[in-house]
Amino acid sequence: MTVTIIGLGLIGGSMAIDIKAKGFAGRIIGVDSNDDHAAAAIARGLVDEVMNLETAVTKSQLVIIAVPVDRTRLLIPEVLDLINGNTVVMDVGSTKAEICATADEHNKRKNFVATHPIAGTENNGPNAAVSGLFEGKLAIICDPEKSGSFALELVRRLYNTIGMNTVNMNSKEHDLHAAYVSHLSHISSFTLGLTVLEIERDEKTIFELAGSGFASTVRLAKSSPEMWSPVFIENSNHLLNALDAYIEKLMLFRKSIKNKDASHLYNLMKEANEIRRVLDGNKLTEVKAVI
Amino acid sequence: MTVTIIGLGLIGGSMAIDIKAKGFAGRIIGVDSNDDHAAAAIARGLVDEVMNLETAVTKSQLVIIAVPVDRTRLLIPEVLDLINGNTVVMDVGSTKAEICATADEHNKRKNFVATHPIAGTENNGPNAAVSGLFEGKLAIICDPEKSGSFALELVRRLYNTIGMNTVNMNSKEHDLHAAYVSHLSHISSFTLGLTVLEIERDEKTIFELAGSGFASTVRLAKSSPEMWSPVFIENSNHLLNALDAYIEKLMLFRKSIKNKDASHLYNLMKEANEIRRVLDGNKLTEVKAVI
């Protein structure tokens, strides 16, 4: 099978590595509007060749769109216009409702599958692509009832091949939850980075006092503005609600600290500790099973 | 040498493991007001024996106070009263100005060394203690001019033995910087945990959408309220300033998202990206050196 990947960044590049290594695709064509990225992808052997979008798409049985979400929305009708009846088109964007709404207007909607693989790092570009990025993780497939079964089957097989399980989700539900669980994390981390950089003109002190806790919390502040700016804007309604809820909680901390109210502060943190149970849920069950 | 460790939690317990393994102390006495923790420390072999504070301190050449910072302040005069002329007392708390001010009032101030090893995990208690926790990390020594050279020498030797370098810092400066680099990280992470837990009553969705990014940003929300509540209250002045700066930046994000101002949003994130250079500074230099 020939697969075209549009956008040879962290996600597109890492997919290229794994679908080639696992034999899912015999030939991978890369498309990238950034010539340096295209050249780097060739140099690293991520793709077999680089072509313009039109030529690449018409030669492929599967087209993976892996560019920022605003550009994904522009590309979907363009790519669907180009394909023949059996070609499958999928995207991997972090927001899904607007992308699905765009695809819904196209008469080849059944050829399109909206997905969100929950995987990534704070790095970007073709040089950030790594093997095994998706292994053991989850890919969300949105509004599967709008996709043809041939398309769903191919996309699920792709994700299974690179080590992912898939779950279905409504695209609007996806964006609501993603605002809280993913997008808000990024904003809080970017904000932490900005705040510390502003006060700490003496970088030596940041470095000396930065334990693994700070490094972990601020990690996402290294993420790509090119990718995240469109995500935040596209999901602005849910994200503004999430931000307001976050600011409300932050003010509870502020008030308790100002009033030196140790007991309220303790209770807020004890409540937040519950996240351990959610995140470690599976692990705890495994440990119990071993005991 | 006989060393007493007061507080057999993550830090006290992990120190016990390493100073015993490295032969720094022949005998380690544990003191803990929590009987379960004391029993667990004995069961895990973290300490050789458990005693009451008075007996333990009078038998030791070095006393390490590793309890929450409010209790550290209460313990310092009590422990200094008990020691003879050559015994060294150190603490490992995350705030330093109030602790130093308390010690300054004691006539055995020269026997005391105020320290902050920049190491930890989000886990706590004697069962969270691990070998190698301090390896390759930095310990801050505050107001060293107030400590006797015999005391400083012993404490530096201890930290070097468990793999740490030491740097000196003024205790007030320490607390100012720690508010931004460490304490604010914890508040932002606790707040993220609270916010997501409140909206996501369906834990399955958190689990499905939680990538490594969320896990990393929310990790500190698992931290001990017992430890952090006194830290936040003790450092409330600096921390309130840090929180206000953070909220100000957060409002810039909120405004850009509300106005769908992609370019301002991009610039905010690009500025925050600078944290990569600070945190990876050493690594980048190494890479360059290799090339």
Contact of B74 with chain A, judged by CB distance below 8 Å, is answered with no
Mean pLDDT over A129-153 rounds to: 97
Nearest-neighbour CA in chain A from B19: distance (Å): 21
Nearest Cβ partner for A190 among B174, B186, B268: B268
Which contiguous run of DSSP H or E holds residue B189?
helix B184-199
How many CB atoms are closer than 10 A to CB B281?
14
Residue ranges in chain B modelled with pLDDT below 50:
282-291
Q: Do residue B213 and residue A184 have CB atoms under 8 angstroms apart?
A: no
Whether residue A285 has pLDDT greater than 70: no
| CA–CA gap between residue A150 and residue A169 (Å, rounded) | 19
* Closest approach of B76 to chain A, Cα-based (Å): 21
Fold for B174-260, please state it. 6-phosphogluconate dehydrogenase C-terminal fold (1.10.3660)
Return the DSSP state at B221. Answer: G
Looking at the predicted complex, does its ipTM rise above 0.95? no
Asked if A221 is an interface residue toward chain B (Cβ–Cβ < 8 A), one would say: yes
Chain A with chain B: Cβ pairs closer than 8 A: 312
What's the confidence (pLDDT) of residue B288?
36
| Coil/strand/helix, residue B112 | strand
The confidence score (pLDDT) of residue B205 equals: 78
Segment holding A281, helix H or strand E = helix A281-290
- Identify from A275, A282, A283, A284 which residue to disrupt to test chain B contact, counting B C-beta atoms within 10 A and taking the largest count: A275
B-contacting residues in A 245-274 (Cβ below 8 Å): 245-247, 249-250, 253-254, 257-258, 260, 262, 265-274
CB atoms near residue A97 (< 10 Å): 22
| Residue B204 pLDDT | 79
pLDDT digits (tens, 9 = 90+) for A229-246: 999 999 999 999 999 999
**Is the pLDDT assigned to residue A42 strictly greater than 90?**
yes
Average pLDDT, chain A: 93
Cβ-proximal residues to A221 (8 Å cutoff; 6+ apart), any chain: A122, A189, A190, A192, A193, A194, B269, B272, B273, B275, B276
Query: What count of other Cβ atoms lies within 10 Å of the Cβ of residue B95?
Result: 30
What is the per-residue pLDDT for B287?
36
Residues A14-24: tens digit of each pLDDT? 999 999 999 99
B181 contacts in A (CB within 8 Å)? Answer: 196, 200, 205-206, 209-210, 214
pLDDT(A282) > 50 = no
Interface test with A, best of B191, B265, B291 (most A CBs within 10 A): B191
pTM of the entire predicted model? 0.91
pLDDT in tens, A76-96: 999 999 998 899 999 999 999
What pLDDT band is residue A281 in, cutting at 50, 70 and 90? low
Name the CATH topology of B2-169.
Answer: Rossmann fold (3.40.50)
CA distance B286 to chain A (A): 16
For residues A176-192, give the mean pLDDT. Answer: 96
Beta carbons of B243 and A250 less than 8 Å apart: yes
Query: Contacts of residue B253 in chain A, CB cutoff 8 Å?
Result: 187, 190-191, 232, 243
Interface contact A253-B191, CB threshold 8 A:
yes
Indicate yes or no: CB of B225 within 8 angstroms of CB of A266. Answer: yes
Could A242 and B212 be called an inter-chain contact, meaning their C-beta atoms sit closer than 8 Å?
Answer: no
Element counts in chain A: helices (H) and strands (E) = 15, 8
DSSP per-residue string spanning A180-206: IIIIHHHHHHHHHHHHHHHH---HHHH
> Which residues in chain A are closer than 8 Å to B250, comparing Cβ atoms?
187-188, 191, 243, 246-247, 250
Model confidence at A217, in pLDDT bands (50, 70, 90)?
very high
Residue type for position B260: K
Residue B58 burial by Cβ neighbours in a 10 Å radius (0-12, 13-18, 19+)? middle
Spatial CB neighbours of A213, under 8 Å, sequence gap ≥ 6: B120, B122, B182, B185, B186, B219, B220, B223
pLDDT of residue A278: 85
**For residues A174-194, average pLDDT:** 96
Instruction: Say if the Cβ atoms of B233 and A265 lie within 8 Å.
Output: yes
What residues of chain B, 92 to 121, have a C-beta less than 8 Å from chain A?
A: 118-121
Of all residues in chain A, the one with the smallest CA distance to B249 is A191
Contact B161, B15 (CB under 8 A): no
Residues 152-181 of B with CB under 8 A from A: 167, 169, 173-174, 177-178, 180-181
Task: Give the residue extent of every domain in chain B.
Answer: 2-169, 174-260
pLDDT at B209: 84
- Predicted confidence band of residue A287 (pLDDT cuts 50, 70, 90): very low
The alpha-carbon gap from B143 to the nearest alpha carbon of chain A, in Å, equals 16
Which residue in B62, B74, B68, B67 sits closest to B112, CA to CA?
B62
CB contact under 8 A, A185 and B276: no
Contact check, Cβ <8 Å, A212/B274: no
Name the minimum distance, in Å, from the CA of A251 to any CA of chain B.
9
If you measure CA to CA, which chain A residue comes closest to B223? A273
